[in-house]
A and B are shown apart, each in its own frame.
Chain A
């Protein structure tokens, strides 16, 4: 099961209209004008969730809504070959191989230099994921609808990085999350989930 924590303000909108997941293309500029302030996470674009960890979703949301953070429980079945699962050794090896090779190309160096110049080091991992997804799509004709990897989520009181503390999963298509397969998790049920 996947858990997504957010503010009450945002949750009200989701309850009413469902999840509106948008995934801009990293290689298209014009189309992305509508996503002017959209940032990219370490797993690329998409709806971010925690796998089997409702408590962490709640604590994460609490950073942004101290009064009434909300956790959604989402049941998603990714179609075969659509989940880029980097918790699997083989897939992670392939991803690292891709990153290593691309970083030594002319365009790879230009991307790295742009990251350094603009001091956006935090977005590099997400860009690599988006490029790898694009590569898989072009080379192997597979459409990636989600990415899964161990990640570190900083919580209140965390002073320094201590390494990954949860498996995060992104959902890259609204079609995977209909109103029938998500619900609000009651606060008293957080630790049972």
Chain B
């Protein structure tokens, strides 16, 4: 069947939703960032998830850095490379909207 020819009933959707592992969906929602611009963070960044970190004025920043720590960084003080990584870290932490 072609996609643009599909049709379904109310019961089809209700049955699908009834069988849905809703607890898994809810748990996944809990883990999601509230950042709407995920089109940036959703591509090719997963490999950085456990590895990105930069050292800045003695503070090690990683993708798990606290929001408060991230906010202390003055980006004007960062080198170009550090700035790029800082942005990635922020995005992974959902701080850039």
Q: Which of B3, B13, B94 contacts A101 (CB 8 A)?
A: B13
- The CA-CA distance from A22 to B35 in the complex, in Å, is 18
- A41 pairs with B13, CB closer than 8 A: no
Q: Which of A36, A88, A120, A142 contacts B29 (CB 8 A)?
A: A120
- A135 pairs with B91, CB closer than 8 A: no
Determine if A140 is an interface residue (Cβ-Cβ < 8 Å): yes
Query: Please, how many residues of chain A have a CB less than 8 angstroms from a CB on the other chain?
Result: 74
Chain A positions within 8 Å of B18 at CB level: 105-107
Tell me whether chain A's interface is mostly helix, strand or loop, or mixed.
mixed
Interface size class of B (residues with CB under 8 A): 35 or more
Chain A positions within 8 Å of B33 at CB level: 37, 39
- A38 pairs with B20, CB closer than 8 A: no
- A140 pairs with B6, CB closer than 8 A: yes
Q: Which residue of A lies closest to B93 (CB)?
A: A37
Identify which of residues 18-65 in chain B touch chain A, using a CB-to-CB cut-off of 8 Å.
Answer: 18, 20-22, 24-47, 49, 63
Determine if B72 is an interface residue (Cβ-Cβ < 8 Å): no
Query: Binary interface profile of A, 105-138, with partner B (CB < 8 Å = 1, else 0)?
Result: 1111011001100111011001100010011101
